[in-house]
Structure 1
Amino acid sequence: MTRILHILDHSLPLHSGYTFRTRAIMKSQQNAGMDVRGITGQRHAADGPMVQETEGLTFYRTPGTADGPVGVRELREVGALAHAIETTAEEWRPDILHAHSPALCGHAGLKAARKLGIPLVYEIRAFWEDAAVGNGTGSEGSLKYRMTRALENHVVTGADAVFTICHGLRDDLIKRGHNGGKIGISPNGVDLSLFGDPPPRDEALAKELGLPAGGPVIGFIGSFYDYEGLDDLIASMPHLLALQPSAQLLLIGGGPRDEALRQQAAASPAGQAIHFTGRVPHDQVERYYSLIDILAYPRKASRLTDLVTPLKPLEAMAQRRIVAASDVGGHRELITDRETGVLFPADDPAGCAAALSDLYDSRDDWDAMRNRAKLHITDRHDWAQNIYRYQSVYQRLLTPKANQSIATAA
């Protein structure tokens, strides 16, 4: 039985898109007969034992908290995580180290892999320097931005195999001069066993939130970062109300832009039709999904959104929800316009409103759109099938003198 040690920034029991992808990968690998465990670095900010069992998965923790000036602190983090990987490997003896971005995890994995003499697979879910620009904690071209990219390049060069979650990231690495033959794609996916038919509309919750019947209800569920473009969605509401007088907007979640978005909504002439719920418990999210006619993802056009595919639209399509999203590269990899969802112009509130209104007026076509979207998820984004992209690469790396193209295998 092949043993895989996943090297992670953070993990369950914390809830995030990052941890849900990790859970899906590890659970699917378990179901396929692999022995998998995870290890997190010092940024896993949650109390718990040094070896933690959660949802049937085992995670090791790296002790301590890194300190010092920028640069020194990160090197200390890498050193601590590399040491923890080596200590864990002495006890558990993994066959493969599978590190997941950010590059700090990849660098620690690379150090440990070289010392232990076992293969390293490095997986990039996003370029974290671009994510920092997108969430307002960094600036493009800054020293930190360039250093993060240089570290990523170092890990990609040193790893035995590389995966990205989409074509945008892979193409960017190749443009930098990396060998495309060792870079495969493991797309965002869903565990279809977790998704059944949508529940009926929760009328009690609708009444509690003040959502009148008649629709359409446009909804967003997720984190309120600037790059998500929720300000454009709020700005689209006066235009949408002119076309659909009963339209409502339901924003579920929270984040750095929360207060600014609430102020924008309060000042909007459509303010009475805009509803904020704050963050809701994960086990209650399905109730909120039941109220939404169209899930909207209005991401702004940027390097981050053009290169990275999000998870939320896939989860919505797996639940047979109707989705509409801005026409950025990451969405174009997931959604075929007018077939599995609708794409509308990015950074264009009026264009967004027109597309949402047209989509709502085409309700007779929704069942066919739902069916096409679910089939797309089943064919391309089901973890039960996609984990074999990893397995074929693992087998090649564990075969002496493996020299086949990772990209071909993946």
Structure 2
Amino acid sequence: MTDRGPSGVPWLANALVTAQTVRAELAHDPVQFALQVSRRLPHAVSTPAARLLTTTGRLADGALAAVGHQILGDDEAARHSLGGRGRGSRGTALLATAALGSDDDGTAAALLDAVPAEHRGAGWHAAAARLALYRGELTAAVDLARRHRSNRILARRLDAERRALNGYRPQFGPVHPGEAVPGRVLHVLNSSLPHTSSGYTQRSHSALRALSESGFDVHAVTRPGYPVEVGIPWARREDSVDGVTYRRLLPAGLDQDAVGRVDQYARLLSTEVERLRPALLHTTTHYTNALVVAAVAEAHGLPWVYEVRGQRADSWAATRAPEAVDSEYYRAFTAREAESARRADAVVTLGEQMRRVLLDAGVDAASIRLCPNAVAEQFLPEPPGRVEARARLGLDPQDLLVGTVSSVVDYEGLDLLVRAAARLAPSHPRLKVRIVGDGVALPGLKVLAERLGIADRCQFTGRVDRSEAIWNHAALDVFVVPRRDLPVTRSVTPMKSVEASATGRPVVASALPALAELVQDGVTGQLVPPDDDAALATVLGELLADPEQGHRLGAAGRRWALDTRTWEANSRTYTQMYADLGVAPVSAA
């Protein structure tokens, strides 16, 4: 490429990827694209724009107003905007697509069913395909999209996704063998710091730093198109963070369907393997990464590790009706994940519940290693005190502060925390709720707080820099993890409560198997029945009334975290696993 300027930014390639991404997402689902864009814009921009949309009334049959309400988190008002009937097939299709933005597939289906068969045009079939995809009916989605020529881009994309989920193997051309560099490992990631700050990227970063300190020659690449396709057109080809270099796979253009993207991913990764000559490849969920890494590792004669950090199919099902777990998409996705784990030379996972899921999927027990979520280096020294933290953050030292530092998504159950606070508010005049983080559920939480009359007691900070996380933990009286009772929350252990314990905060969490691995009831925190805001309010009230109990639980939690949840310990596990695969640190090679 000749467009790479002094800053190291491949501007032309990035511009092409941005344009392709916008075009593809608009064809796939214009409403979801609008919602995604709004979540990446500053609230000072997205909120006024959304409010303007809510004033459009019946323009576009109310769909624009509905999208505005969805951006603001008011799904009830969005459904009210969709209460009419669209003018013709196109108007109804737009309304149905907008209904899916509120996870209201029932309204979408009713709108589409009301259109006579003879009036069902391209827009209707596109919306019907999106509805089928939302419900996990992949084959039906493809068939519906194919019924009209104008939907051929959507049809190709849906069909490619179905093929990728059902046994497709990457095709990536000739391989040029070479001798591996001893002790060199290449991690293949979805995303990374500094462009994405999340539990996933922090875990990756901590693992890479720990392995480097253990003597490995560590390298990392991220998926093709990242981070440009998530709204960072100024991305460089490499970023260095704390001595860890993340290389970006930024081609001049991205293949626009799942099959083409998998092949392109494999080609780009194979080129990186030939450039770096690692002795081992290490990737993370989900199956697309595993599919590509397995093929490239096999072609180059390398061992590979699959790190199962979550259950994406269960996260998908969490926002849908119970029958979603019987859908074609869910079954195919879970089968592909199980196949990937069985195929790997070694498997890493986060906790006992996830280990049991892997065993039930037929993964060899001898190949599985547990590397739990561990605390980053900043949490190891003595944490700041509550008064010091509040002074830094400009918070009242006399307030009773309960909250979380978390991604704000529906299955985290943070609405239960807001409801519990509303129950406690009359008897606790100094009670405040502090929710640090961002996500799709944040606008809805703000609406809920307004409706419950406690908006003035709720502090929604949005996303903060990772360096500020420890201060936000330390400022709380009680850290709360009110996850809902769902398959994904029963098996996946989060990072947030481990960091809270390391900071010496008492943790109140839902009594779910995965969370019971992290919170010892009555010792490091309290477990409460999930989906029960009354029970949550009772336990919070008891802890707030007895600060000494909170101090005791927090101190025990910190001892537990420092004894069992460090990257030094995880590094030893990784090192032994790599040794079993024939790869030793550079210093020991």
TM-score above 0.5, yes or no: yes
User: Is 1:81 the equivalent of 2:269?
Assistant: no
SS of equivalent to 2:245: strand
Q: CA deviation at 1:110?
A: 0.1
Aligned to 1:26: 208
Q: What residue ranges of structure 2 are gaps of 5+ in the alignment?
A: 1-181, 584-589
1:50-61 aligned within 5 A: 50-61=237-248
Q: CA deviation at 1:147?
A: 2.4
SS of equivalent to 2:363: coil
1:209-358 aligned within 5 A: 211=396, 213-358=397-542
Aligned to 1:391: 575
Q: CA deviation at 1:136?
A: 6.5
Match of 2:559 among 375, 379, 387: 375
Residues in 1 aligned to 2:560 and 2:222: alpha-carbon distance in whole angstroms: 33
Aligned to 1:406: none
CA RMSD of aligned residues (A): 2.2
Q: CA deviation at 1:66?
A: 4.0
Aligned to 1:13: 194
Aligned to 1:402: none
TM-score between both structures, scaled by the size of structure 2: 0.63
| More moved, 238-247 vs 318-327 | 238-247
Q: What residue ranges of structure 1 are gaps of 5+ in the alignment?
A: 400-410
Match of 1:172 among 330, 336, 357: 357
Cα 1:77–1:165, aligned 2, differ >3 Å: closer, same or farther?
farther
The letter for the 1-side match of 2:316 is: A
Q: Deviations over 1:348-387 (max 9, x none)?
A: 0110010111122232233332232122112221001111
Residues in 2 aligned to 1:286 and 1:108: alpha-carbon distance in whole angstroms: 36
Residues in 1 aligned to 2:390 and 2:400: alpha-carbon distance in whole angstroms: 15
Aligned to 2:390: 202
Aligned to 2:370: 185
Q: Is the 8 A contact 1:11 1:44 kept in 2?
A: no
Aligned to 1:408: none
Q: Is the 8 A contact 1:40 1:81 kept in 2?
A: no
Q: CA deviation at 1:24?
A: 0.4
Q: Is the 8 A contact 2:384 2:471 kept in 1?
A: no
Residues in 2 aligned to 1:119 and 1:174: alpha-carbon distance in whole angstroms: 21
Q: Deviations over 1:300-348 (max 9, x none)?
A: 0100000000001111111122221111122111110111111111100
Decide which structure has greater strand share.
Answer: 1
Residues in 1 aligned to 2:427 and 2:523: alpha-carbon distance in whole angstroms: 23
Q: Is the 8 A contact 1:135 1:225 kept in 2?
A: no
Q: Deviations over 1:250-273 (max 9, x none)?
A: 122221112211111001143432
Q: CA deviation at 1:115?
A: 0.2
Q: CA deviation at 1:185?
A: 1.3
Runs of 4+ with deviation above 4 angstroms: 135-139
SS of equivalent to 2:398: coil
Q: Is the 8 A contact 2:404 2:473 kept in 1?
A: no
1:145-156 aligned within 5 A: 145-156=330-341
| More moved, 73-82 vs 35-44 | 73-82
| More moved, 235-244 vs 136-145 | 136-145
Cα 1:152–1:33, aligned 2, differ >3 Å: closer, same or farther?
same
Decide which structure has greater helix share.
Answer: 2
Cα 1:135–1:6, aligned 2, differ >3 Å: closer, same or farther?
farther
The letter for the 2-side match of 1:101 is: T
SS of equivalent to 2:375: coil
Q: Deviations over 1:227-257 (max 9, x none)?
A: 0101111111132234534211112222111
| More moved, 247-256 vs 143-152 | 143-152
Residues in 1 aligned to 2:576 and 2:465: alpha-carbon distance in whole angstroms: 37
Q: Is the 8 A contact 1:62 1:80 kept in 2?
A: no
Residues in 2 aligned to 1:175 and 1:283: alpha-carbon distance in whole angstroms: 39
The letter for the 1-side match of 2:548 is: D
Residues in 1 aligned to 2:321 and 2:297: alpha-carbon distance in whole angstroms: 31
TM-score between both structures, scaled by the size of structure 1: 0.89
Q: Is the 8 A contact 2:403 2:480 kept in 1?
A: yes
Q: Deviations over 1:78-116 (max 9, x none)?
A: 222222222112121111111111111111110011000
SS of equivalent to 2:348: strand
Q: CA deviation at 1:11?
A: 1.3
| More moved, 355-364 vs 73-82 | 73-82
SS of equivalent to 1:223: coil
Q: CA deviation at 1:283?
A: 3.6
Aligned to 2:185: 4
Q: Is the 8 A contact 2:506 2:551 kept in 1?
A: no
Residues in 1 aligned to 2:448 and 2:270: alpha-carbon distance in whole angstroms: 51
1:29-40 aligned within 5 A: 29-40=211-222
Cα 1:279–1:394, aligned 2, differ >3 Å: closer, same or farther?
closer
Q: Is the 8 A contact 2:380 2:562 kept in 1?
A: no
User: Is 1:48 the equivalent of 2:229?
Assistant: no
Aligned to 2:347: 162
Q: CA deviation at 1:216?
A: 1.7
Q: CA deviation at 1:154?
A: 2.1
Cα 1:259–1:132, aligned 2, differ >3 Å: closer, same or farther?
same
Cα 1:28–1:91, aligned 2, differ >3 Å: closer, same or farther?
same
Cα 1:40–1:322, aligned 2, differ >3 Å: closer, same or farther?
same
Aligned to 1:115: 299
Residues in 2 aligned to 1:121 and 1:136: alpha-carbon distance in whole angstroms: 32
Q: CA deviation at 1:193?
A: 4.8
Q: Is the 8 A contact 2:342 2:362 kept in 1?
A: no
**What is the aligned length?**
391
Aligned to 2:125: none
Larger Rg: 2
Q: Is the 8 A contact 1:3 1:34 kept in 2?
A: yes
Cα 1:43–1:219, aligned 2, differ >3 Å: closer, same or farther?
farther
The letter for the 2-side match of 1:60 is: R
Q: Deviations over 1:142-185 (max 9, x none)?
A: 33322222221221121111111111111012112222221221
User: Is 1:128 the equivalent of 2:312?
Assistant: yes
Q: State the identity as a percent.
A: 28
Residues in 2 aligned to 1:252 and 1:393: alpha-carbon distance in whole angstroms: 36
Greater relative CO, 1 or 2 (CA 8 Å, sep 6+): 1
Q: CA deviation at 1:137?
A: 12
SS of equivalent to 1:219: strand
Q: CA deviation at 1:286?
A: 4.1
| More moved, 279-288 vs 29-38 | 279-288
Aligned to 2:325: 140
